[in-house]
Amino acid sequence: MNYAATLAVLVVLAFCFPLTVKLGTALGVPEAWGASVLGAVLVFAAAAYLVRWQVGRHSAKLSRLAAARAQVAADPQSPRAYFVEGEHLGHILLRLGRRREAAEVIDRYSRLGGARESEIVALREALSQAERRKRRAEGERT
């Protein structure tokens, strides 16, 4: 587990441990220690699993992104090179929050001769939705 993931687990524990201690105190029985320790261990295990799962999922996205970029670099004139496991490079970039790169890829893809119009429209719609979400989020911050 990397530093950020460990820190996240510790933050979750720091929040949940006092709650389990209060629960044990409210029970008022000697087993409160056991309940508190068990609760802390369970919270730690759940948080560690969640962090590992999210890190693994993100790593898989990054590996698909690298594979898609390699395919496009190998054959930039082929519309099929922009797809990895049925997902377009533009969609992968949008899911990773890289709108500017996604816009460039979508523009490049739309200029290809064999690209289907329906795919281009769907990609541009996804890009415009991401832009709207960004503007809405920026509006809420101010």
pLDDT in tens, 4-13: 777 787 788 7
Same domain, 21 and 58: yes
The sign of the dihedral angle between the CA atoms of 71, 115, 111, 103 is negative
Q: Domain end: 74, 99, 132, which one?
A: 74
On the question of pLDDT at 1 being above 60, the answer is no
pLDDT of residue 142: 65
For residues 70 and 82, membership in a common domain is answered with no
User: Mean per-residue pLDDT for 25-34?
Assistant: 68
Residue 1 and residue 66 in one domain: yes
φ, ψ of residue 58 in degrees (nearest 5): -65, -40
pLDDT in tens, 96-112: 989 899 999 989 888 88
d(CA 3, CA 113): 46
pLDDT of residue 70: 94
Do 67 and 84 belong to one domain?
no
For the segment 123-138, what is each residue's pLDDT rounded down to a tens digit?
899 999 988 888 888 8
Crossing angle of helices 32-74/3-27, nearest 10°?
160
Of 35, 57, 74, which residue sits at a domain end?
74
Domain check: are 86 and 64 in the same one?
no
Query: Are 95 and 124 contained in the same domain?
Result: yes
**Cβ–Cβ < 8 Å for 27, 39:** no
- Which residue reads 């970039």 in tokens? 93
Q: What angle (nearest 5°) sits at the alpha carbon of residue 63, between those of residues 57 and 69? A: 140
**Model pLDDT, residue 15:** 82
Q: Give the count of domains, the chain.
A: 2
Q: Could you read off the pLDDT of 110-122 as tens digits, one per residue? A: 888 777 888 888 8
Statement: the pTM of the whole predicted model exceeds 0.85? no
Indicate the burial class of 96 (C-beta count within 10 angstroms; 0-12, 13-18, 19 or more). middle
Range of the domain at 106: 78-142
